[in-house]
Structure 1
Amino acid sequence: MTVSSALFTEAQLEALKAKFQQAGQGHVFTFFEQLDVKEQEALFQQLSELDVQRLNQIYTKAIQGAEAAAQNQAASLEPLSEQVFDSVLKASSSTLNDWETIGLTQIAQGKVAVILMAGGQGTRLGSSAPKGCYDINLPSKKTLFQLQAERILRLQTVAAKYATDPNSDIVIPWYIMTSGPTHQPTYDFFRANNFFGLKEENIIFFEQGKRGLSVDRKYISMMINGYLLGTLPCLTMDGKIILETKSKVAIAPDGNGGIYAAVQNKGVIDDLKKRGIQYSHCYCVDNCLARVADPVFIGYCVSKQTDCGVKVVGKAMPEEPVGVVCVRDGRYGVAEYSEISAEVTEMRNPDGSLMFGAANIANHFFSTEFLERVPTFAADLEYHIAKKKIKYTDLETGEQVVPKSNSGMKLECFVFDVFPYANRMSVLEVDRKDEFSPLKNAPGSGADCPETSRRDIVAQHVRFIEKAGGKLVGDNVDNFELLQFEISPLVSYGGEGLEDLIQGKTITVPAVIESVEELVRLAQ
């Protein structure tokens, strides 16, 4: 017998049951009669907000896409053409300077913003705080957020030289996308640190998967239909909704592709247009080497009249577990490492380089016009299948099962899923050692962990000094994992401005250089 509820009537409940039964998902009500009133209301509310027909469509399309990719990999995948691919490793110094000048000019004109995807927690790092708050044990003890904030500050100073009005205030607005668990802690962290020297009004925090006070009408249907909402139900391998408990559907984040709905329904695009922003650099918080608002990348994309651009690095080896940017069925996209056969992975160009070696590093350029256009094709985007160990309630016994092997799937959409819809796509290869060092794994794991992030930043700063004609002396100068040396981004964004100060001079370590004055004092 159904418990009496103020949330729904008997007729409403029966209508909802019929809807799910018709969709082949009626099993979600298996234990409904056993629940108390609060549990019934919670499950009714959760199911009422889900368009089960749309969910079935997403599942079917994802399965079809995965099967098609598996059956026809070699024929459907093509490497990038020279028309859309360039490399900073091969470009001349004059070309790089031209791109940088264009980028800095755009920044000086107030046309460039930064969008940071910062919704992740440092769970695998042993921290419940936002990942951007994590201290990778640099000599300065700076967090990822602080490093990135200081890069913006420095770039605003450098770009000021390209302003037509020497008294103009150069601003790179920073839009920080959070998640439910990280939103308030992220804001509190910035406020406690006085926004790291940036003006508070130029840092805009917005939460993925949560409606704001002002919702773009173009996105309402997709949000209600469970599309780009931030989470989706987990499914069995044959597409059935998984009950985590008797009164709760198992749900999971639906990938970082939710950024497109978030920038719409949280007013980000409106703010970009209000500020006159034409281009945005979008990246993930966990890359400690991310060149925030990189003027070379911005200038390159602007020079190509790009509406959607991406940075890549060369794959370290064929079996490296990274997605690659390529052409799929005649359209630009990313093939995940799990979607590419060993045969295709090993294919090489005449010069010996990997044919499919443009590794995606979640580092993007978007025109504001492109971000505005996403709603016109969002319903056509495909979801990706991620097979996972998902807790479920046995429908026969009612007992919760914690599986030891993959028991179901999560459906995810990603930032790169919009690539096929770009009018002008551009791909820029950059140097891995200078621009890509992700923080993903637990301390001590040996790869993509706090120790490697710290090492890669220290090594980069040593290269800055050596390229400028300087030299380090002291303890551990050849061991970047132990070396106590660091240069604040406030002193140099990418090695610029150091040559005149340290050429032919030495710096004794340990040393943490926070200002030009300190650098001059230490250089002997």
Structure 2
Amino acid sequence: MIAAQSLSVKTASSATTYSTKAEQLKTRFEAAGQGHVFTYFDSLSATEQEAFLEQLETLNVERVNRICTKATTCPSPMLNNQAAILDPLPEECFDSTLDASPEKIEEWRSVGLDEIARNKVGVILLAGGQGTRLGSSAPKGCYNIELPSRKTLFQIQAERIRKLQSLAQQRPGAVDKVIIPWYVMTSGPTRTATISYFQGNNFFGLESENVIFFEQGTLPCLTFDGKIMLESKGKVAVAPDGNGGVYAALRGSGVLADMAERKVEFLHAYCVDNCLVRVADPVFIGYCVSKNADCGAKVARKVSHDEPVGVICLRNSAFNVVEYSEITPEVAMAINPKNGQLAFGAGNIANHFYTLEFLNRAEAFEHELEYHIARKKIKTLDLQTGEIVTPKQVNGMKLEAFVFDVFPFTQRMAVFEIDRRDEFSPLKNAPGTRVDDPETSRRDILLQHVRFIQAAGGNIIVGKDDEQLGGAPTLELSPMVTYYGEGLEEIVRGKSIQTPVSIASLEALKKAVF
């Protein structure tokens, strides 16, 4: 009897709370000019109402309005053709591995390895994309680029972290156990599949507690007059808020708090689709730490003035990424008289360094970030008829921030130019495209491994059975063998190795050379 009474009281209390929540949310949305989302609320079942209220609770409707207002009334000067002054990067914030001496590069690497050895470095992976353009419905990180080992992007990157932890563990003064925590940002559609993939592969040899998943945020789809669109009578139409949503997601998911608890001070962030990425690159980390930077970016030298890539430069005296379509031919062709290179040649590759302090400070300037409008055909509920409409023309907009939108707010920026042959090969297009596709990704990894062997003094003999995948000799070195070509010289110098061959360990390499 007591149990029954308790249940009755609990049910009544829940109903009251539920009703209060509905009224509070309705009042809040009406005050924000978005009360229309409740048009069909009373026609929903109790279960549908509860789910709808849960979704509305997660929407900061005032923030949505602020973002919409800024995006539609205060666009970037470059986007509305207002005058914008572009200047090349200041010399004091820029260095290049293409020009630096081996001694300087080794100095930066030493600084970076020491920070890793002190457990001061973490990694942020932007992995929310699906492989749709590649013909796959799986997360892009699960994609197999047909290496001999059949390793996916996720596995390659996980093994690079493992190898780097091992290298740092050997540093004098290293902590008892070197850990590079890996913070993996998924999107709603990829979260379950990504986590399941890692679990099914035992986290590729990493400890599960050091692989932390968090989810990219979303924003409501909006009409051109700023009204929230509904996907159905009881569901708001939403879209990912862009890779620039990582800053709010880090904070809202508790990742920043986890970093602080682990005493991580420096973060490396990158996109999953770059098969050559040097995860937690100690040279990059060391360079940025040496410059006392709070934010840093890797760039690849443009191959020509008209290469269709955004560049990092100064826009109205602030660091920015300016898209190639926003730069006049005269500016694009300008030459730096000191080195003969393009003055605006720092191609953006979405590969960044942050201090934890900078990531925490992002909340203070988040309201000033630019949000970019993508005009789309959005399936939506007709509020007049209650019918779902599939539009034939563009009828709404999605708002997204870009990961580089924080650059204008840095206090100490560092820009680091790398050799794209060794560090940048994005996977963007379907097989057979011949540009940024699985074949070019595979080719670029194989060619890099050939260069590793040759730089260490080894000789490559292309076997008659080698199909030379992607036009490159089929020589694959596991990340567990070498991170950036280190540790090979004493094994391969003066010796030969015949392809095709896939080397999984140093012991296997010793057996393969002759």
Same fold (TM over 0.5): yes
Change (3 A) 1:356 1:59: farther
Write the distance in 2 (CA, Å) between the matches of 1:331 and 1:520: 52
- 1:150 matches 2:139: no
1:174 matched residue in structure 2: 182
Write the distance in 2 (CA, Å) between the matches of 1:365 and 1:156: 18
Spell out, residue by residue over 1:474-512, the C-alpha distance to the aligned partner (whole angstroms, 9 max, x if none): 145866446432011111111112222222322111100
Question: Is contact 1:392–1:400 with CA below 8 Å preserved after alignment?
Answer: yes
Unaligned runs of 5+ in 1: 210-229
Instruction: Judge which range, 5-14 or 400-409, deviates more.
Output: 5-14
Overall identity of the aligned pairs, in %: 56
3-state DSSP class of the match of 1:272? helix
1:206 to 201, 213, 220: 213
- 1:513 matches 2:500: no
2:241 matched residue in structure 1: 254
2:67 matched residue in structure 1: 58
- 1:290 matches 2:280: no
1:86 matched residue in structure 2: 95
1:441 matched residue in structure 2: 429
1:227 matched residue in structure 2: none
Question: Is contact 1:178–1:205 with CA below 8 Å preserved after alignment?
Answer: no
Write the distance in 2 (CA, Å) between the matches of 1:501 and 1:299: 28
Question: Is contact 1:87–1:430 with CA below 8 Å preserved after alignment?
Answer: yes
Change (3 A) 1:169 1:15: closer
For 1:120, the aligned partner's letter is G
Write the distance in 1 (CA, Å) between the matches of 2:331 and 2:50: 50
Write the distance in 2 (CA, Å) between the matches of 1:266 and 1:410: 23
Question: Is contact 1:387–1:410 with CA below 8 Å preserved after alignment?
Answer: yes
Question: Is contact 1:206–1:262 with CA below 8 Å preserved after alignment?
Answer: no
Instruction: Judge which range, 418-427 or 304-313, deviates more.
Output: 418-427
Write the distance in 1 (CA, Å) between the matches of 2:297 and 2:183: 19
Task: Indicate the RMSD between aligned Cα atoms, in angstroms.
Answer: 3.0
Question: Is contact 2:425–2:444 with CA below 8 Å preserved after alignment?
Answer: yes
Change (3 A) 1:261 1:486: same
1:195 to 203, 227, 239: 203
Question: Is contact 2:195–2:213 with CA below 8 Å preserved after alignment?
Answer: no
Change (3 A) 1:44 1:91: same
1:474 matched residue in structure 2: 463
Write the distance in 1 (CA, Å) between the matches of 2:324 and 2:399: 17
Write the distance in 1 (CA, Å) between the matches of 2:117 and 2:414: 23
2:476 to 461, 481, 486: 486
Deviation at 1:89, TM superposition (A): 0.9
3-state DSSP class of the match of 1:69? coil
Question: Is contact 1:113–1:279 with CA below 8 Å preserved after alignment?
Answer: yes
1:219 matched residue in structure 2: none
Question: Is contact 2:450–2:473 with CA below 8 Å preserved after alignment?
Answer: no
Change (3 A) 1:82 1:406: farther
3-state DSSP class of the match of 1:181? helix
Write the distance in 1 (CA, Å) between the matches of 2:451 and 2:332: 32
Write the distance in 2 (CA, Å) between the matches of 1:485 and 1:23: 60
- How many residues matched? 497
For 2:334, the aligned partner's letter is R
Deviation at 1:76, TM superposition (A): 3.3
Write the distance in 1 (CA, Å) between the matches of 2:331 and 2:385: 45
Deviation at 1:246, TM superposition (A): 4.3
Change (3 A) 1:188 1:12: closer
Question: Is contact 1:74–1:344 with CA below 8 Å preserved after alignment?
Answer: no
Spell out, residue by residue over 1:444-487, the C-alpha distance to the aligned partner (whole angstroms, 9 max, x if none): 33322222211111111111122222222214586644643201
Change (3 A) 1:360 1:354: same
- 1:450 matches 2:412: no
Write the distance in 1 (CA, Å) between the matches of 2:230 and 2:256: 37
Spell out, residue by residue over 1:262-299, the C-alpha distance to the aligned partner (whole angstroms, 9 max, x if none): 33333333332333322111112221111011111011
For 1:487, the aligned partner's letter is L
1:349 matched residue in structure 2: 335
3-state DSSP class of the match of 1:162? coil
Question: Is contact 1:451–1:481 with CA below 8 Å preserved after alignment?
Answer: no
1:311 matched residue in structure 2: 298
Spell out, residue by residue over 1:396-453, the C-alpha distance to the aligned partner (whole angstroms, 9 max, x if none): 5555443455432211123222222222110101111211112233333332222221
3-state DSSP class of the match of 2:435? coil
Question: Is contact 1:206–1:266 with CA below 8 Å preserved after alignment?
Answer: no
Unaligned runs of 5+ in 2: 1-13
Instruction: Judge which range, 179-188 or 16-25, deviates more.
Output: 16-25
Write the distance in 1 (CA, Å) between the matches of 2:390 and 2:310: 30
Change (3 A) 1:297 1:7: farther
Write the distance in 1 (CA, Å) between the matches of 2:116 and 2:21: 55
